[in-house]
């Protein structure tokens, strides 16, 4: 006979189980509080490899490049991509900020291995333009040579590097690079196509209504021009069989003076910035330090403003693009502040709040950051800056989440060693709707937003710097 517990006994047992679950959950640290080395580039590469394996038999067209090509699927080109390329079987293997050698590493380490496409549409080299035209052309050629050797039945469309608003010293550099890349066209399996002039106005300057940041096509109109320019090649190659036994094209420059630009390179931007900050910490005095993710990192774009506001404090900014609380903790526990004695550390974090991470975990990560700073630098004051409001209206789910997070953040302040500041004044109107000036960040980027931020925190930073200097 089955034993049935009386209601009171069952209720007590259930309460015990719930209490035990909560205790265990509380004992389990949140990922937001565990120091973690960031590898966003490696994670995206691994996703590309997995996607290529999953869809290998359906892929006919590969796009490969940097942030310009990445915008086909992550930016203003996505609608055209969905209508024009996705039905043909396309994959986009493009990562923002990639140099030619970064792309070469990715191609050599699994992204092409499962694929046998009809064509690969390549646009790379814009981030190599600090080098000589010969070095840039050599680096692009290294990618083409690898693709042709690895996929002998795949045609390669090499696109000329787009024009951008370069400083005067770079005038004509694109034209020199593209003239060299034109030599890769073998009339059989590699074609060179330069249509960058279609993005220019009649006076020869870049059309900023399309390239709004001076570098990337940010409007659908730009991608329409791009798509129309390459469509005849795609139409031809989708139906025309490959030419057999065509070797890779020779280098257009013989051997470049700097062969490193044709050597595969595995990126880790976070680790690169960390190592640079270790050098800064050993060389420069610092009384005011900024930490955080993308939002704080964007202070680097308003150099004149930061000099005006913070140079008097011997200011350093150790924020890193896309750094989450766990990544900032990794920075702190791996030497970045070990040789510094700042009077004030300003921390602002938004990264974790934009995904499914609970706001409680993000607040716990900020507490761990403040605690770590106090442990390493007991005489340093920590100023926690509230997350800026996102969402057009007060009822937007992300706005509500951020409000709860900010409330928790404010409770971490004891006004002795840890302080809190809401610097969002001016970014919302009287009804709580988004104002005309966007919140600080890269997309959309507006220098005026950082001036507002500076105005909002100027008095608090001055107060803390003065209070600390009197100890």
- 67 among known catalytic residues: yes
Q: If residue 94 lies in a helix (H) or strand (E), which one and from where to where?
A: strand 90-94
- 216 among known catalytic residues: yes
- C-alpha pair distances (Å), 186 with each of 157, 190, 192, 200: 11, 6, 9, 28
What 3 state SS string does 389-446 have? CCCCCCCCHHHHHHHHHHHHHHCCCCCCCEEEECCCCCCECCCCCECCCCCCCCCCCC
- 235 among known catalytic residues: no
Report how far apart the first and last C-alpha atoms of the chain are (Å, whole number): 76
Q: In terms of Cα–Cα distance, which of 65, 207, 53, 176 is closest to 126? A: 65
On whether the CB atoms of residues 129 and 172 are closer than 8 A, the answer is no
- Tell me the β-bridge partners of 405: none
Residue 1, token pair as written in the block: 């006979």
Given 51, 67, 185, 422, the catalytic residue? 67
On whether the CB atoms of residues 140 and 124 are closer than 8 A, the answer is yes
Burial class (CB in 10 A: 0-12, 13-18, 19+), 446: middle
Residues 6+ apart with CB under 8 A from 424: 386, 388, 389, 439, 456
Given 216, 251, 274, 297, the catalytic residue? 216
Given 186, 213, 269, 371, the catalytic residue? 213
- C-alpha pair distances (Å), 78 with each of 210, 224, 431: 15, 11, 34
On whether the CB atoms of residues 69 and 63 are closer than 8 A, the answer is yes
Active site residue ranges? 67, 213, 216
């Amino acid at each position: 006979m089955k034993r049935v517990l009386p209601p009171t006994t069952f209720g007590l047992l259930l309460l015990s189980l719930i209490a035990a679950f909560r205790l265990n959950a509380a004992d389990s640290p949140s990922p937001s509080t565990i120091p973690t080395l960031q590898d966003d580039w490696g994670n995206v590469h691994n996703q590309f490899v997995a996607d290529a394996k999953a869809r290998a038999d359906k892929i006919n067209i590969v796009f490969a490049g940097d942030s310009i090509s990445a915008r086909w699927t992550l930016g203003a080109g996505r609608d055209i991509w969905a209508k024009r390329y996705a039905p043909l079987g396309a994959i986009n293997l493009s990562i923002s900020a990639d140099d030619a050698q970064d792309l070469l590493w990715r191609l050599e380490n699994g992204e092409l291995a499962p694929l046998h496409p009809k064509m690969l549409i390549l646009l790379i080299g814009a981030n190599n333009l600090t080098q000589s035209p010969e070095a840039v052309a050599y680096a692009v050629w290294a990618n083409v040579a690898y693709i042709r050797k690895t996929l002998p039945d795949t045609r390669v469309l090499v696109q000329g590097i787009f024009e951008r608003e370069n400083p005067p010293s770079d005038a004509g550099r694109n034209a020199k690079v593209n003239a060299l890349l034109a030599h890769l066209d073998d009339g059989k399996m590699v074609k060179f196509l330069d249509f960058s002039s279609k993005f220019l106005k009649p006076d020869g300057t870049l059309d900023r209504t399309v390239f709004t940041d001076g570098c990337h096509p940010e409007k659908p109109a730009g991608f329409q021009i791009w798509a129309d320019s390459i469509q005849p090649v795609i139409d031809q190659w989708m139906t025309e069989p490959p030419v057999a036994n065509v070797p890779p094209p020779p280098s257009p420059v013989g051997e470049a003076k700097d062969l490193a630009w044709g050597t595969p390179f595995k990126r880790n931007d976070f680790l690169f910035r960390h190592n640079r900050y270790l050098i800064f910490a050993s060389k420069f005095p610092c009384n005011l330090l900024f930490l955080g993710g993308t939002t704080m990192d964007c202070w680097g774009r308003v150099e004149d403003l930061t000099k005006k506001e913070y140079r008097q404090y011997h200011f350093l900014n150790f924020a890193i693009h896309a750094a989450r609380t766990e990544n900032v903790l990794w920075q702190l526990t791996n030497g970045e502040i070990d040789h510094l004695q700042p009077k004030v550390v300003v921390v602002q974090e938004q990264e974790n709040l934009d995904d499914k991470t609970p706001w409680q975990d993000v607040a716990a990560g900020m507490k761990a950051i403040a605690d770590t700073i106090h442990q390493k630098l007991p005489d340093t004051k920590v100023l926690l800056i509230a997350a800026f409001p996102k969402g057009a209206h007060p009822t937007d789910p992300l706005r509500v989440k951020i409000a709860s997070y900010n409330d928790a953040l404010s409770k971490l302040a004891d006004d002795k060693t840890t302080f809190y500041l809401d610097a969002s004044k001016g970014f919302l109107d009287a009804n709580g709707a988004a104002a005309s000036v966007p919140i600080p960040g890269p997309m959309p980027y507006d220098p005026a937003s950082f001036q507002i931020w500076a105005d909002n925190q100027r008095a608090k930073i001055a107060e803390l710097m003065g209070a600390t200097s009197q100890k």
